[in-house]
Every structure is written in C-alpha cells, then in structure tokens.
A and B are shown apart, each in its own frame.
Chain A
Amino acid sequence: MDKMGKVLIVDDFSTMRKVIRNLLKQLGYENIVEAEDGVVALDALKKEKIDFVISDWNMPNMTGLELLKRVRADGALSKTPFLMVTAESLKENIVEAVKEGVDNYIVKPFTADVLGEKISQIEKKYS
C-alpha cells in the first residue's frame, strides 16, 4: 500500500482508534478514516475506496471476524488487505481468521514498529 492510500481503522474504543491513528501517522500514513464497528465499516467500504483495513476482533453489532467474512464475500471488496487486531492470541481464533482470509493479525498492545512490520508483510503479499 502506498502511504497515500486510505486506511480504515475499525474499533469500538475511540481511544484505541486514536492510538492506532497516531501510530500510523508515525509510520507516514496520513489518509485515515475510522469506524466504531463492523456495520459502520462495511458501509464505509461500500461508499469510498479503502486501500487497507485494520480491524479489532471483539466489537458489538458486528465483530471483526464477521466484517472479514463480509469483505471476502463481496466481489468488489474481496481483495482488500485486512489486518486483524486482537486482545488475545487464542489459536482457534487465529486459525478461524486465517481460514476466512485475514492477511495478518496483531496482538494488543503493540508498538509502531510491530504495526509497521505487519503492514509491510501484507504489502509484500499484494505487490
């Protein structure tokens, strides 16, 4: 992803969205939009061109996993790079997310360096 590309942060906690936004800015990303759950995120994805999704797992209304499934099932969105953020690293959760097509996952809390590395790994996959 070009650093001019648009990143969508999905998290029900506004402070976490702000923390991730700050980390992305440290990494050089400026074009950032936010959604508070999967429902709002899906709406945003259908209305505007999003180049990269960073989504929390555990959210009310629509979880990150459900959002991932909807994105992968939608022809126009199915190739959108998707990084899952989770507060835990339960093996069965990770296996399920990989099965549904997640590109990578990151366990909270994390630093800008770790986030940058995960994004780079996904960028290589899509380049």
Chain B
Amino acid sequence: MEVQYINPFLEGTLHVVKTMAFIDARPGKPYIKKDNVAKGDITGIIGIVGSIRGSFALSFSEGSILRIVSNMLGEEIAELNGDIEDAVGELTNMVSGAARQRLEAIGISLTAALPTVVRGKDHSIVHVLGGPSIVIPFETDSGTFVADVCMRKDGG
C-alpha cells in the first residue's frame, strides 16, 4: 500500500474530529496490522471503490468515542448506545469523504458505500481486501482510537 493513500485518511480524521467534536487528536506512528482484531470497542467500516479500492475503518475506545459524541451533540452520553453507533457510522462516512476529497486532488477518484458499525470487546474488522492494513493510532485526553486503512490498486 502506497503512503500517498494513507496521509489523506490521517488528515481527514484530524479534520473531522476537530470540526465535529472540537478535539485535537494526537496522531502516533502508523504500523502494519495483519490480523482482524479491532483495536477499539466500537468500529465503523466503509467500502471504497474507484481507481484504487479497499476499505477504511475507524475503531474507538469507549472513553474516546463517548467524549467525541458528547461534544458533537452538546450533551453528555455515558454509555455505548444507539446514538454512539449512529455517530460512529457518520464519522466513518465523513472521514472517508474528507480523505476522498484529498485523494481526488491527486487524481484518485473514489466513491464509497454506506458504512456499517460493529461493537464489542475484540470484535473483528474484516477489510474488503482481507488485509494487511495500515493502522494510524490517535490519542485524545479521553482515550485512544485508530484509523485502519486497507486500500490498493487492482493487482497492487
């Protein structure tokens, strides 16, 4: 997977979390992930197709997503409920859109499906291409989350 596919997802994640939840997430060093185990307690995943294809996931610890969604909605949410699942889907959709805008600027035109959301300890993230994926970790004052990207050119 080429590094030019990764930065748009990193920048898109920072932009969406900042604009929607007023949080400056701190990105860590990206690494390669070969298994399907999610890093967080709740994950949104979305399929992406075009001149490259694959899928993108956002996986949040409980602490991080409760703070992000509480900030988004302007009300305190104390547990992983339907509002949180709905918000994770929409955040995944928005980051995918923000990343695709950035990829389009370098000539890579993509469209996305509707996101799906999975939750529970040690749930799986099954990428369209199977893997491996590149994980970008983020820290917030309320916990961690990751962007998990698996995008390739056909035959790449």
Binding site for B on A (CB under 8 A): 13-16, 18-19, 22, 58, 60, 86-90, 107-111
From B19, B89, B101, B111, contact of A13 by CB (8 A):
B89
| Cβ contact within 8 Å between B73 and A109 | no
A14 to B73, CA, bound (A): 10
A-B pair count, CB < 8 Å, reads 57
B16 with A109: CB separation less than 8 A: yes
Known: A13-B90, A15-B90, A90-B109. A107 touches B20 (CB 8 A): no
Which residues, 74 to 118 on B, are CB-close (under 8 Å) to A? 74, 82-83, 86-87, 89-90, 93-94, 96-98, 100-101, 104, 109, 111-112, 114
Known: A88-B97, A110-B19. 10 other contacts (CB 8 A): A13-B87, A15-B69, A58-B93, A60-B114, A86-B97, A87-B96, A87-B97, A108-B94, A109-B16, A109-B19
CA distance A87 to B69 in the complex (A): 18
* B111 CB contacts on chain A under 8 angstroms: 88, 90
Assess A89 versus B101: contact at CB under 8 Å? Given A15-B72, A15-B73. Answer: yes
Per the bound structure, the CA–CA distance linking A15 and B91 in Å amounts to 10
Q: Is B39 an interface residue (CB 8 A)?
A: no
Across the interface, name the chain A residue whose C-beta is closest to B87. A15
Q: Smallest CB–CB gap between B134 and chain A, Å?
A: 22
A109 with B20: CB separation less than 8 A:
yes
B67 at the interface (CB under 8 A from A): no
Flag whether B15 is at the interface (Cβ < 8 A): yes
The 16 listed contacts between A and B (C-beta, < 8 Å) are A13-B86, A15-B72, A15-B73, A15-B83, A22-B74, A58-B93, A58-B114, A86-B97, A87-B93, A87-B94, A87-B112, A88-B101, A89-B101, A108-B97, A109-B19, A109-B98
